[in-house]
Structure 1
Amino acid sequence: MGQSLISGLDLDLSSMFLLFVTVCAFMIPVVVILPPIPLSKSDALLQTHSKAGVKPAKSNLRDQHAAEAHALQPGHPARIHSLVVYPVKSCRGIEVTRSRVFPQGLEFDRLFTFAQLKSPFPAPVQDAGAANATKNAEEEKSRHRWEFITQRQFARLATVKVDLWQPDEMKLRKQSLRTREAFLTLRFPWRGHGWRGVWDVVTTKLGRGVRAEPEREILLPVDFPSEAEIRDKGYAYEEVRIWKDTATALNMERDLPEELRLYLGVSNKLGLFRIDPARLREVYRCAPRKEAAGYQPVTGFQDAYPLHMLNLSSVQKFSSEVPKDQDLKQLDVLRFRANMMVSGAPAYDEETWKRARFKPGTSGLYNDAVFHVSCRTVRCKMPNVDPTSGDRHPREPDKSLRALRAVDEGAPLLGCLGMQLTPLFEDSVTDDQERAGWVAVGMTVEVEERGEHVYIKQ
């Protein structure tokens, strides 16, 4: 009796083992061919859209540290070497080969900014229901205000990747679809806790390769939403402070996952603001007056002016004087977050430009683009953040900027590198909707006017 029981048990164990091996043999090919990973928003967009921008392997900035590539060449004008747009302020940029130019800057540049809800005194931020509980809570909440955030406070913003997805006519035609809607996707590193984190790692590596790391993704529309969409989504117009300016913009915080606030290390409430094309910030200070420009200069969520230009020779010259260490081996031009990088001009020559005309050159364009060179770019400590890793250097290049580049009497003790530009358009253009042009890699620079620059503080 006992022997029979043991034999039956052995048979059951053998059967179970055989069943386990059979299931594994069946499932492993299925998992390899069709890994059990959820579709991301980017996967869906791939069916109808294409990702904009230059692939890293073909970036025009691969040779940014080669002095001979950007030095003055007698008989050859300076030229646009690279263009970058930053759809979300302080997050990763997108390198492009050409871009439309509007009064507020390059197309897609600084459409969004993150902001935190701050108080002039320590107080918890309550939700709407709790705030209505008592009169004191309501008064407390009214003292809070939204203030934009950047890598200066939250260096991890540098690691938030941004992709621009534009409609692809060929893909849409194959699926008999039509759309003109473009999207942004924001991706940041994130894995869940416990077994969820293990599952995130496994599914990510199965689906995207051994080197891939788990990420969270956010989908944002590029076009400003309609009034109906604003109501349906529960967005709200609120004031947000940018330096000493206050803009009324659309708060889209409902689209943000809580994980992003935790990842960035923001202890206050986190908001996401979209600039309203009808409520752009007016630019004065060093910009041309309305009478001279033919329109009132404006900007979106840029710091102060519509465009930022860097001369690669100037960056190389400055970089050669910055002390290097194990944490700072090279000074990447992307630390300075310019829109336009020019090549072939003498170091710091751009600081004498007052009006510059960019001509077609090898760009394939047919029209010139003209800019008022408004003032120098006064630097803060933000370039201390590595644009790839998000690591912050404790001293450089801020220390060297203050020591070597305090060259503007309007900004004593502050370092300057780069120039701020304001677009100019033909005198015959009087309609705001028609003020548009193009810039592209390969355009040449013709300096039409030179002069002195004195920075005017905000």
Structure 2
Amino acid sequence: MEFTAGGVFLYLFAFLMLILPLIIFGIESLTGKVAAPTTASSHIPKPPPTKIQEIRIYPIKSCRGFKVQKTKLLKTGLDLDRNWMFADASTLKFLTIRQISDMTLIDTKITDDDSLEVSISTKPNIKISIPAHPSEIWLTLNTELVKDCEIWGQKVDGYLYSTDLTAPFSEFFGKEVRLVYKGPTPRPLKGNADPRVLGRIESTKFADLMPIQVSNQKSIEELNYRLKTSGEAPISIERFRPNIVVEGEEPWYEDVWKTVRLQPSDWTAENGKGDITMDVAARCARCQVPNVDPDTAVKNKKQPWNKLMEYRRVDEGITFKPCFGMLCVPREEGEVRVGDTFEITEVTGDHRYIPGM
């Protein structure tokens, strides 16, 4: 076999590439030095604190919500948020804006006597009122507990309200529906908040994935700038149905949040009371629900979906969907208020969406 000078060089180069990792490992073992981690989080500056600008609650899944100045933040989400859903009467499968955009015309509000009032903006004669925080006795007397309600292919328990109560809404939907209140059995989180990922077991009510969704005001402003420069109308952040909206420092800096802390405006290091830490589990990958105008229920065929698809497919775990907002899991419970400090305590460059529904 003949060896040319070039061939010898290639053999030596290949041999060096094979043994180089072993040489480096040996040096590190002898010196006790290990290479610095290469994750992007070691190079990401931690942003300054911001403030909570809005708090939004959506009692019935896919129906219109409302803003509050303060509320309880529970492990399962904001108090009253997505505690109810409408379901197909024959299958008990949940109904959403994705299939029925008119659901945005169903309004909700909490009255002074702690009742949930449900009405339809285009049909003022349709209105029902039920306890916002029903007791076990009330539920036993007025509902039926069943175990085969369905949300995203998952069987969950729920209290079914009477068909007489929901009859006006069946007429509105054009088919028989049932109003369902989440039952007592926890609905464990999956995907990025699976216990094997999060490190603990948490649950939620009828939210799609996680207990809390946080959005950044600066991001909706940046999106609206792009829409307007393309000749499109700006949209409200309500279309993304967030629970908490922060003032923000710059657009899309939420992409790197890992943990955040909510602190009352009068919080001090000395008292250290009232603060709530949340794990930022994942980016919120979007369907076309934000294309639906919540005031009219009219779905735009293109926007903001098309614009977001141009530049917000930023998560390697779900590249076929754009992202807007972050999904969070509380570690503690407490009260949250508009004006509270929203501090980013950890950042990461490693967010990667894991399917959970």
Counterpart position of 1:105: 77
Question: How far apart, in 1, do the equivalents of 2:91 and 2:169 lie?
Answer: 20
Counterpart position of 2:132: 222
Question: How far apart, in 1, do the equivalents of 2:142 and 2:86 lie?
Answer: 18
Alignment partner of 1:332 is 2:230? no
Higher RCO structure (Cα 8 Å, ≥6 apart): 2
CA 1:390–1:349: 2 relative to 1, 3 Å: same
Secondary structure of the residue aligned to 2:255 is helix
Structure with the bigger percentage of strand:
2
CA 1:256–1:323: 2 relative to 1, 3 Å: farther
Alignment partner of 1:298 is 2:203? yes
Counterpart position of 1:24: none
Counterpart position of 2:21: none
Question: How far apart, in 2, do the equivalents of 1:331 and 1:292 lie?
Answer: 34
Counterpart position of 1:35: none
In the TM superposition, residue 319 of structure 1 has moved relative to its aligned partner by: 2.2
Opposite residue 297 of structure 1, the aligned amino acid is E
Counterpart position of 1:153: 99
Question: How far apart, in 2, do the equivalents of 1:282 and 1:423 lie?
Answer: 14
Q: How does 1:167-186 map to 2 (within 5 A)?
A: 167=113, 182-186=114-118
CA 1:288–1:349: 2 relative to 1, 3 Å: farther
Question: How far apart, in 2, do the equivalents of 1:106 and 1:284 lie?
Answer: 19
Counterpart position of 2:330: 423
Question: How far apart, in 2, do the equivalents of 1:393 and 1:247 lie?
Answer: 33
Bigger radius of gyration, 1 or 2?
1
In the TM superposition, residue 236 of structure 1 has moved relative to its aligned partner by: 3.8
Question: Which residue, 384, 389, 407 being the options, matches 2:296?
Answer: 389
Question: How far apart, in 2, do the equivalents of 1:311 and 1:160 lie?
Answer: 26
Counterpart position of 2:352: 454
Q: Which moved more, 1:388-397 or 1:315-324?
A: 315-324
Counterpart position of 1:439: 336
In the TM superposition, residue 290 of structure 1 has moved relative to its aligned partner by: 7.7
Contact 2:166/2:178 (8 A) holds in 1: no
Question: Which residue, 241, 257, 266 being the options, matches 1:353?
Answer: 257
Question: How far apart, in 2, do the equivalents of 1:154 and 1:363 lie?
Answer: 44
Question: How far apart, in 2, do the equivalents of 1:113 and 1:320 lie?
Answer: 34
Question: Which residue, 278, 282, 291 being the options, matches 1:371?
Answer: 278
Counterpart position of 2:305: 398
Counterpart position of 2:179: 272
List per-residue Cα deviations over 1:318-342 (Å, max 9, x = no partner). 222236899x622100000000000
Opposite residue 223 of structure 2, the aligned amino acid is F
Contact 1:190/1:259 (8 A) holds in 2: no
In the TM superposition, residue 187 of structure 1 has moved relative to its aligned partner by: 1.0
CA 1:291–1:259: 2 relative to 1, 3 Å: closer
Secondary structure of the residue aligned to 1:286 is helix
Question: How far apart, in 2, do the equivalents of 1:80 and 1:305 lie?
Answer: 19
Contact 2:117/2:127 (8 A) holds in 1: yes
Alignment partner of 1:318 is 2:223? yes
Alignment partner of 1:285 is 2:191? yes
Which runs of 5 or more residues in structure 1 are unaligned?
A: 1-74, 118-143, 168-181, 192-213, 426-435
Secondary structure of the residue aligned to 1:313 is helix
Contact 1:409/1:455 (8 A) holds in 2: yes
Question: How far apart, in 2, do the equivalents of 1:184 and 1:373 lie?
Answer: 30
CA 1:304–1:255: 2 relative to 1, 3 Å: farther
Question: How far apart, in 2, do the equivalents of 1:230 and 1:77 lie?
Answer: 43
Q: Percent identity?
A: 26
Secondary structure of the residue aligned to 1:371 is strand
List per-residue Cα deviations over 1:408-441 (Å, max 9, x = no partner). 111011111000000013xxxxxxxxxx212111
Q: How does 1:122-201 map to 2 (within 5 A)?
A: 145-167=91-113, 182-189=114-121
Contact 1:253/1:270 (8 A) holds in 2: no
Alignment partner of 1:246 is 2:155? yes
Question: How far apart, in 2, do the equivalents of 1:419 and 1:409 lie?
Answer: 15
Opposite residue 368 of structure 1, the aligned amino acid is D
Opposite residue 151 of structure 1, the aligned amino acid is I
Report the TM-score, using the length of structure 2 for normalisation.
Answer: 0.79
In the TM superposition, residue 147 of structure 1 has moved relative to its aligned partner by: 1.3
CA 1:413–1:290: 2 relative to 1, 3 Å: closer
Counterpart position of 1:90: 62
Question: How far apart, in 2, do the equivalents of 1:185 and 1:396 lie?
Answer: 32
Contact 1:373/1:420 (8 A) holds in 2: yes
Which runs of 5 or more residues in structure 2 are unaligned?
A: 1-46
Over the aligned positions, Cα root-mean-square deviation in angstroms equals: 2.6
Report the TM-score, using the length of structure 1 for normalisation.
Answer: 0.62
Contact 1:311/1:348 (8 A) holds in 2: yes
Opposite residue 391 of structure 1, the aligned amino acid is V
List per-residue Cα deviations over 1:35-84 (Å, max 9, x = no partner). xxxxxxxxxxxxxxxxxxxxxxxxxxxxxxxxxxxxxxxx9731111101
Contact 1:78/1:343 (8 A) holds in 2: yes
Question: How far apart, in 2, do the equivalents of 1:231 and 1:443 lie?
Answer: 38
Contact 2:144/2:161 (8 A) holds in 1: yes
Contact 2:73/2:335 (8 A) holds in 1: yes
Question: How far apart, in 2, do the equivalents of 1:423 and 1:355 lie?
Answer: 10
CA 1:145–1:361: 2 relative to 1, 3 Å: same
Secondary structure of the residue aligned to 1:408 is coil
Question: How far apart, in 2, do the equivalents of 1:291 and 1:151 lie?
Answer: 30
CA 1:324–1:184: 2 relative to 1, 3 Å: farther
